[in-house]
Amino acid sequence: MGRVTLQTVADRVGVSRMTVSNAFSRPDQLSAPLRGRILAAAEELGYVGPDPAARALARGTTGSVGVLLTDSLTFAFTDEVATRFLGAITAELAPSGLALTLLSSSAAGEVVPARDVPMDGALVYSCDSDSAAVDWLNRRGLPVVYVDQTPVPGASSVNVDDRGGARAAAEHLVELGHRRVAILTSEKAGPHGVEVAPDLPSYHHVSRQRMLGWLDALIPAGVEPLVIRVPLKSEEAAYAAATALLDRQRPPTALLCFSDVLARGALRAADDAGMRIPEDLSVVGFDDNPLGRRMRPALTTVRQDVAGKGRAATSALIAAIDSARSGETVPPRQMLLPTELVVRDSTGPAPS
């Protein structure tokens, strides 16, 4: 037998090509017995269904949404905060029938995922605002929702109260009597593991908001923090930076860390330096990553609702896609989710 097509199946069952097509793509248009006969004939003939690309072209929809990540896609499977965020997205997408596609911001040969991958819309997750990939999504005219980004006019965004959470963390240390405080922050640009100014203008949105929150509490208390930049989400880089920091003649008595991952690196450095936590050094993270609860001592941190952020972003994107399909205008929403300071065992009174 030659190549099996829609017409082959239609001839076997004695129906039109459109009826066979509907059996695969619009089952509500057929009775259950007729659809059963068509699918049985297709299976017998080895026909797997209409070409997905052609079907998407005919329907005007791909049935897929993208999540654009600035970092390596490996991060999506190794970082527990990222996996919780993506898990919430897939759960929210399930009733809609939409599939999830992970997009790297970098090109792979001649393929530029943000430009070339078929999708109905995209979530832009913690990406550089000047990323060429973000520009491609906008040029394609796709519905886009920004997550952990500076809000963009005309598009929905979902952020957490990074500034309020960071302020609460710094106030906690001030109330414990700490006056020698260092900050391990995260920023890709520029040299790593060196002291930088706290008002560095290149900070990414989340980094900037957390820096502003820490300074909101420290500056009025007369505390001028030592700010150290480390690579984004790198525990090993945080370990190296904290090791150098704690080797100073007058090391800080407290560390505020951009994330729980950086805090873990700092705790390892403190342990190797023979410092007791929290008697000699207090450490505060951010995110309430599950690894923070597994640390010993358990990590004081700022909790954000990662799953809630994923659900809210996905709901906003589905609404934007539906709006684009129907031609109706849905006003964009700028959502700010709350944060909460969680005090555990890694913070205590400043040493006398």
Q: Are both 49 and 100 inside the same structural domain?
A: no
Q: Stretch 201-209: mean pLDDT, rounded? A: 79
Q: Are both 154 and 272 inside the same structural domain?
A: no
Choose the weakest-confidence range: 57-61, 113-117, 198-202. Answer: 57-61
Q: Are both 245 and 317 inside the same structural domain?
A: no
- pLDDT for position 10: 87
Task: Say whether pLDDT at 11 is over 60.
Answer: yes
CATH code of residue 149:
3.40.50.2300
Q: Are both 100 and 181 inside the same structural domain?
A: no
Pick 243 or 127 by higher pLDDT: 243
Please, which pLDDT band fits residue 52 given cuts at 50, 70 and 90?
low
- pLDDT for position 287: 95
- pLDDT for position 201: 52
CA 234 to CA 232: how far, in whole Å?
6
Task: Say whether pLDDT at 341 is over 90.
Answer: yes
Q: What pairs with residue 265 in β-bridges?
A: none
Task: Say whether pLDDT at 236 is over 70.
Answer: yes
- pLDDT for position 196: 59
- pLDDT for position 303: 97
CATH code of residue 13:
1.10.260.40
Model pTM score: 0.81
DSSP conformation letters of 195-213: B--TT-TT--HHHHHHHHH
Please, which pLDDT band fits residue 178 given cuts at 50, 70 and 90?
very high
Q: What pairs with residue 337 in β-bridges?
A: 160
- What lies within 8 Å, CB to CB, of 343 at 6+ separation is 172, 300
Choose the weakest-confidence range: 54-58, 187-191, 307-311, 333-337. Answer: 54-58
Run of H or E including 123:
strand 122-125
Please, which pLDDT band fits residue 57 given cuts at 50, 70 and 90?
very low
In a domain, 345, yes or no: no
Q: Is beta strand 254-257 parallel, antiparallel or unpaired with respect to 64-69?
A: unpaired
- pLDDT for position 74: 72
Task: Say whether pLDDT at 58 is over 80.
Answer: no
Task: Say whether pLDDT at 17 is over 60.
Answer: yes
Instruction: Tell me the average pLDDT of the chain.
Output: 87
Q: Are both 169 and 261 inside the same structural domain?
A: yes
In a domain, 346, yes or no: no
Count of domains observed in the chain: 3
Q: Are both 238 and 324 inside the same structural domain?
A: no
Strand ranges inside 58-98, DSSP E:
64-69
Decide: 170 and 147 in contact? Cβ < 8 Å: no
Buried b (16+ CB within 10 A) or exposed e, 132-154: ebbebbeeeebbbbbbbbebbee
Residue 17 structural domain: 6-59
The sign one gets for the Cα dihedral 33, 64, 157, 230 is positive
Please, which pLDDT band fits residue 50 given cuts at 50, 70 and 90?
low
